[in-house]
Amino acid sequence: MEIIETLLLGDLWNMVILGNTVGEIIIAVCTFFLVLIGIRIFRTVVFSRLEKLTEKTATDVDDQLVRMLENVSQLFFWFAALYITSLMLKTNEGFQAVLDGIFLVLVVYEAIKIAQSLINYGFMKSGRRDETVLNGVRLIAKIALWSIGLLLILSNLGFDISTLAASLGIGGIAIALAAQNVLGDLFASFTIYFDKTFKIGDYVVIGSMAEGENKGIVQHIGLKSTRIKTLQGEELIVSNKLLTESRIQNFKKMKRRRVDIDFGIEYGTPTAKMKKIPDMIAKIVDTEELADYGRTHFYEFGAYSLNYKLMFYMTTGDYDAYLDTRQSISLAMKEAFEKEGISMAFPTQTLFVKKD
């Protein structure tokens, strides 16, 4: 009886199904489940230990790497186990090519997810949150990765990709030439972002200061153009390429502003009072929290006034604070002059008539 069972079991074990023995199929199925169990143990035990180790480190790079591994989809691991199992069996070449193609698609998809995570992490570490540029980088990364993945899949399926790659190259050159202005603006937006020329909320002047209409507050930085709200309230739309080729003054980045105020007093002012003016103004400027006094000098005999020059520094680049402080100092000067009996000059002419 045992001999018969052994013979039957041996015949069943060696029975051939679709080019593989039953024994080989059983071993492959067991391998499939063992791989899944190993992946489950790795994800459960190893990842938890890695998370505890990363919590003890000062850098957050390892935390980001662990999160990227945890975000790999369950479908990828299932198919990876199936793919490993298929390599243990004799399969039809066409079927194996399909499996290879699907596996490459999943690999490319997971690579895109990892690339996006790295891009998001890089933007987060840079301290800036420009979603427009971030979406542009994501789009370029997707196109590049999917292009490479598509060529790998086609090559794996037996297609000659050399002709296709050459066609794509020629087509890419033609598209690039046709859309060079758009591409120029696109890459200029990346230049603005990574070079940190300016950001949303900055007050900028484009080109010459004399061109008053080309200055305002940055409202939006797009992939093709930047929108600026002028002081008059209009929206100024400028191509990013033009911005990178122009001279730009960013007043928001100014940490210290020099302020010059010229004023004149009447010629009839006594010299003794003229000598008091620098000390009077120094005391006025010193009372302002955001102002550092520089100097005050009587510097010329004007056509109708004795002219002084006041110079001080603002310790902030904020434009509203600059206007408020300048106004406060100017009003305080006028009040102090009125108390001292010093008259501010205005255009006058004195006519001397000689009688014969």
Judgement on whether residues 12 and 84 belong to the same structural domain of the protein? yes
**pLDDT tens string 141-193:** 677 777 776 776 666 666 666 665 555 555 555 544 444 555 666 667 667 76
Tokens of 48: 């938890």
**What's residue 282's pLDDT?**
94
Single out the residue in 224, 250, 276 at which a domain terminates.
250
Q: Is residue 167 part of a domain?
A: no
Q: Is residue 215 part of a domain?
A: yes
Burial tier of 296 (Cβ tally within 10 Å: 0-12, 13-18, 19+) = buried
Question: If you count them, how many residues does the chain have?
Answer: 356
Single out the residue in 250, 266, 295 at which a domain terminates.
250
Cα separation, 114 vs 141, in Å, equals 11
User: What phi and psi values does residue 263 have, to the nearest 5 degrees?
Assistant: -150, 160
**pLDDT tens string 200-221:** 888 888 875 555 557 888 888 7
Cα separation, 102 vs 80, in Å, equals 10
Average pLDDT over residues 219-237: 81
Give 265's strand partners.
306, 344
Judgement on whether residues 98 and 226 belong to the same structural domain of the protein? no
Instruction: Look at the alpha carbons of 107, 113, 114, 119 in this order and tell me if their dihedral is positive or negative.
Output: positive
Geometric angle at alpha carbon 244, from 240 and 246, rounded to 5°: 110
**What's residue 310's pLDDT?**
95
Single out the residue in 234, 250, 266 at which a domain terminates.
250
CATH at residue 219: 2.30.30.60
CATH at residue 276: 3.30.70.100
Cα separation, 292 vs 260, in Å, equals 12
User: Rounded to an integer, what is the distance from CA 44 to the centroid of its chain?
Assistant: 35
Judgement on whether residues 137 and 273 belong to the same structural domain of the protein? no
**Which structural domain, as residue segments, surrounds residue 231?**
186-250
Percent of the chain with pLDDT over 70: 64
Could you write out the DSSP letters of every residue in 77-138?
HHHHHHHHHHHTS---HHHHHHHHHHHHHHHHHHHHHHHHHHHHHHHHHHT---HHHHHHHH
> Nearest 10 degrees: CA dihedral of 305, 311, 317, 318?
-40
**Which H helix or E strand runs over 265?**
strand 257-265
Judgement on whether residues 241 and 328 belong to the same structural domain of the protein? no
Number of domains in the chain: 3
Tokens of 50: 């890695």
Q: Is the pLDDT of residue 118 over 80?
A: no
**What's residue 338's pLDDT?**
93
Q: Is residue 226 part of a domain?
A: yes
Judgement on whether residues 99 and 245 belong to the same structural domain of the protein? no
**pLDDT tens string 43-71:** 777 667 766 676 666 666 666 676 777 77
Q: Is residue 207 part of a domain?
A: yes
Q: Is residue 346 part of a domain?
A: no
Judgement on whether residues 137 and 244 belong to the same structural domain of the protein? no
**What's residue 177's pLDDT?**
47
Pairwise pLDDT comparison (334 vs 109), residue with the higher score? 334
How would you classify residue 341: left for phi > 0, otherwise alpha for psi between -120 and 50, otherwise beta?
left
Cα separation, 139 vs 143, in Å, equals 6
Q: Is the pLDDT of residue 275 over 90?
A: yes
Identify the weakest region by mean pLDDT among 53-57, 169-173, 238-242, 257-261.
Answer: 169-173
Judgement on whether residues 131 and 273 belong to the same structural domain of the protein? no
Average pLDDT over residues 338-348: 85
Q: Is residue 163 part of a domain?
A: no
Judgement on whether residues 113 and 190 belong to the same structural domain of the protein? no
**What's residue 178's pLDDT?**
45
Judgement on whether residues 104 and 222 belong to the same structural domain of the protein? no
Average pLDDT over residues 76-99: 74
Q: Is the pLDDT of residue 3 over 60?
A: no
**pLDDT tens string 305-329:** 999 999 999 988 787 888 999 999 9
Q: Is residue 299 part of a domain?
A: yes
Of the CA atoms within 13 Å of residue 171, those in its CB half-sphere come to 6
Percent of the chain with pLDDT over 90: 19
Judgement on whether residues 10 and 27 belong to the same structural domain of the protein? yes
Give the global pTM: 0.47
**What's residue 263's pLDDT?**
93
Of the CA atoms within 13 Å of residue 174, those in its CB half-sphere come to 6
Judgement on whether residues 103 and 30 belong to the same structural domain of the protein? yes
pLDDT band per the 50, 70, 90 thresholds, residue 334: very high
CA nearest neighbour of 139 among 112, 164, 114, 117: 112
Judgement on whether residues 84 and 69 belong to the same structural domain of the protein? yes
Long-range contact pairs involving 276-279 (C-beta distance under 8 Å, separation at least 24): 276/340, 277/308, 277/342
Q: Is residue 76 part of a domain?
A: yes
